[in-house]
Amino acid sequence: MKEDLISSEIQFTAGGARETGLGFAVHRVMRKLVGILLFVFQFGTAIPAVAAPYCSQVFSDSLIPWGELKEDFPHSTHYTKEIRQETEVKNQCNLGTCHLHSWLASMESRYTQKTGKVITLSNQYESAKQLLARSLDQLHSQNSESKISLGSGPIQSKNSLLSYGVIPEGVWSPKMPFSQNPTAAQFKRALEVIIEDTKAARALESSPQRQQEITHEGEVKIHALFQDVVGDLPQSFQWQGRTWSPQEFAKTHFGFFAEPVTQMIVRADRKAPETIESLDFDKKITVNIDTLEKQARTLIDHNQTVYVAYVHRRNFVDKASGIMSIEGFYTPADAKPLTRQQREDMNLYELGHHVQIVGYETDPKTGQVIKWKIRNSWGSQSGDQGYYHMYRDYFRAFVKSIAYPSSSP
C-alpha cells in the first residue's frame, strides 16, 4: 500500500506540476496529504477510531418528532357496536388483491350469520386466478403496455369472484409462495416479460393469422410458467364427502353473493346533487361524505360488515397499533392533507386500499362516530392483530366509497 502511494506521488510530480504559482501550491498540498495517509496506514492503530453518529444522534431530542404518533393521543380498543368475526384475518402478501380479500371476509361473515357455521375461504386461489386472468388480459390487449394490474373496483371485483368461484381453505395449495416476495415480484416480472416478447413479435407481423398464432404461443408460455410456480388451479375438489367445482361451491354455500350490489361513492362537492348510475344488475351512487357515513353506520347497526375503499396514507397510520388518524400524528401545520375538492381540482388520483368495516365507536355526548374498526388483509401480525382503528378525521378525509347488497337497509 505504501509503495502505491509513493508511486502516485512520483507520477504526480513527473506529470508536470510546476514549482511556482498554482501548480506549486497544489504540489505542496498533495505531498502533505500523501504524508498524512502514509502515517495513518503505518501508525493507524495509535489513532483512536471515532464512530460516525446515527442519524437519530445528530438531532436534538427536543425537536418535534414529525411523522410519529403522539404519545398523548387518546386511543382505546372499545367499540360501541362490533360484528364478531369468526375467521382469521387473511394476508394478501405482496399482490394487489385487497379487493378480493375484502369480499372474501364479507362472504365468510355473512355465511356465519345465516347458518351459524364457519367456512374459511382460500385467498391463495383467488389471488392466483386474478393474476392469471389479468396476465392473459394484458397479453390480448392491443396497447404496447406489459404491466399487470391486479386492482379493481368493488363491483368488478365481485363479478370476478362470481366467475372464479371459491374454494375452502385447505383443499388446494400452490407449489410455491407465489404471492410473497421475492417470489411474487419475480413471478410477476417474468409474466410481464412474456407479454413484452409476445407483443413485440406480434407488432412485426401484418398477417392477422400469424398474429393470432403468436398470441397463442404467449398464452402457452404463461400457462407453462403458472404450472411451474403455482401448479394446477383446481377445476374440482373434494369437500365433506363429495366433489365440487369452485363455481358450484360458491353458488351452493354463498348464493347470496350474486345479489345486486350498490357502490356508494363520495363526491368532492358536498353541495352537488346525488347521481345514480344503473349497471346490468348493480348500481353506483355519488353522495357526500355525511350520507356515506350515515349509511355505513346503518349497515353495521344491522349486523352487516361494510366493504370500504380508502386512500392509504402511511404518514397518518401507525402499523404497530393500527391507529389511523390525521390529528394523531405530529405534522407541520402547513403540511396537512389537501381537501377532497383540492385533490380533485389538481387531478390527484390516488389508488385505494379495500377492507371491511366491522364496527364503530360513538361519542356518548355528541353521538358522532369516533372511530371505525377495520378488518385488514395484511395478516394478524399487522396492526392490532390484523385490525386497524380508523378515526373520524381519517375516515372523512380519505374514504372513497363503500359497497353493500342493494337489498340492505
What share of the chain in percent tops pLDDT 70? Answer: 85
Which residue's C-alpha cell is 506549486?
24
- Name the class of domain 260-409: alpha beta
**364 Cβ contact list (under 8 Å, min separation 6):** none
Pick the CATH number of 95-258 from 3.90.70.10, 1.20.210.10, 2.30.30.110, 3.40.720.10: 3.90.70.10
Q: What is the mean pLDDT of the chain?
A: 88
Query: Looking at residue 40, what is its pLDDT?
Result: 42
pLDDT digits (tens, 9 = 90+) for 397-409: 999 999 999 999 8
Q: Please give the backbone phi and psi of residue 393, each rounded to the nearest 5 degrees, phi first.
A: -65, -40
Residue found by looking up cell 418528532 in the block: 65
Element (H, E) at 369: strand 369-375
Between CA 229 and CA 134 the distance in angstroms is 16
Strand, helix or coil for residue 380: coil
pLDDT in tens, 278-292: 988 999 999 999 999
* 373 strand-pairing partners: 359, 389
* C-alpha to C-alpha distance for 249 and 251, rounded to whole angstroms: 6
Helical H runs in 257-314?
289-301
Contact status, residue 298 vs residue 409, Cβ threshold 8 Å: yes
pLDDT over 50 at 163, yes or no: yes
For residues 114 and 61, give the distance between their C-alpha atoms in angstroms, rounded to a whole number.
55
Contacts of the segment 44-51: beta carbons below 8 A, 24+ positions apart? none
State which amino acid sits at residue 178: F
Q: How far apart are CA 31 and CA 40, in angstroms?
A: 14
Distance CA 347, CA 407 (A): 34
Helix (H) or strand (E) holding 391: strand 387-391
pTM of the model: 0.84
For position 348, what pLDDT does the model report? 84
The neighbour count for residue 329, using CB atoms within 10 Å, is 20
Strand partners for 263: 284, 403
- From CA 221, how far away is CA 215, in angstroms rounded? 10
Q: Which of 24, 20, 21, 42 is nearest to 12 (CA)?
A: 24
State the Cα–Cα distance between residues 151 and 134, nearest whole angstrom: 10
126 closest CA partner among 155, 92, 153, 154: 92
Say if residue 367's pLDDT is above 80.
yes
The pLDDT of residue 344:
87
pLDDT in tens, 215-253: 999 999 999 999 999 999 999 999 999 999 999 999 999
* Per-residue pLDDT, 226: 98
What is the distance between the alpha carbons of residues 354 and 308, in angstroms, rounded to a whole number?
6
The CA-atom distances, in angstroms, between 350 and each of 307, 312, 313, 398, 400 are: 18, 9, 10, 10, 10
Q: Quick one: 77 exposed, middle or buried, by C-beta within 10 A (0-12, 13-18, 19+)?
A: middle
Place of cell 483512536: 48
